[in-house]
Structure 1
């Protein structure tokens, strides 16, 4: 199988570290970048301030880390919009997206809503796929996108843009966490978002994707199929453990992200085992079926 081509390579996206702290993405949406860059979070976590201009209200999506400088930047956007926060929405439970949800919700007197009760808190709202949330002078559709984590959601805006959390990244590809991540569910979720015909993908990390969002989703699907074949080829060549597979398949990826690659590898092996293409041994090994 030929190595798939990432369509973003020719788009002239901002270089790593070049995203501005705040950016107006469209009349409904302002992005505020949290100061938590890392190999896993890229430039940092993207917090989105969503609301109709002039409505006097906004919704925060993925407040991110509970960081004073980040809170100050978000509150500056609220002040510039002359708006109050009426809800905090969270795509999934990972701390780089959810840590600030409850403390900021309390500070802003705004309820927290998520798919997980641990994230939403005892006074929050549990969200279900298919819901439409009439908030901040607009409507936000809840889209179920499990795979990266079991509780992952995306949010579709009236403009057609989709806030995809960690389901799609502005650069590179997302991790399917193990053991809670599910590659089969992840692939189904990619297709679900693709079928929405998004006008833009606003990612949890990295730049927004506006040139051809559908092409990125198609690339993600082909990339996953390519990874499966790489694993099968490495097994056929003699690899017999997750560590050996990661060293072979991810040889061109910085070692600092190999632990995340191991998670995706384990999740993919679970899928291949369910498909009857590999056998997982009791000692943590793996071999072709």
Structure 2
């Protein structure tokens, strides 16, 4: 049994919560310091891995908080980061229509910055290989001929060692002195940028189409979520012909749905589970015609 010794105990009573994700919540505990407090189901080995990935990303040039020590927060564990003068991306976006547009443009710039970084083979999980595995899982939910069609589409995606954040949405982005910074690195992987767009499509289009609660979780409404997706795609694909943009959007939505089905398969108690499955299958089948 692993013994977790000598961890500093910190108190977050009264500390403002500035972010939240599937694996934890982020609190500001000082002017220049935040702590990500992990949910009880997150293993210590995964916490250590994310801490090291954050340092790795910082060295690679990804705008992110500098990670320090692992701490105890009540009965939970957390990681302390240095992050100056920040607000949540959702708060920034909700201030004005001008801020929303500014956020989308800067988030696309940030994506391009991340996607300019090459990852050594085997250094991070390969998103294309992961997706092949998820397609096989989906055979329990969809006809094999549909899964085969998705696999054919995946075969056409170029092999790539491009760095991906792979969970690129408002809850994982902070605004620091008008610049964007990422605060959640546990999903980083390598692959074609279409997989990055797939996770963005999930956050702003697919999940909100299943339940408005998905948009509210991000701190926005469904219309704003849809606008972020549409403008992100438009700006990211600027200069591409309409047919290429349409094909990329469809591929992103298909692979995003496959990822959702994998998530649902691993989380039997997920909210709206049956609706998630039905909606994703419907959308995959429609897009694969």
- TM-score, normalised relative to structure 2: 0.30
Bigger strand share: 1
Larger helix share, 1 or 2: 2
Q: Which has the higher contact order (CA 8 A, sep 6+)?
A: 2
TM-score by length of structure 1 reads 0.30
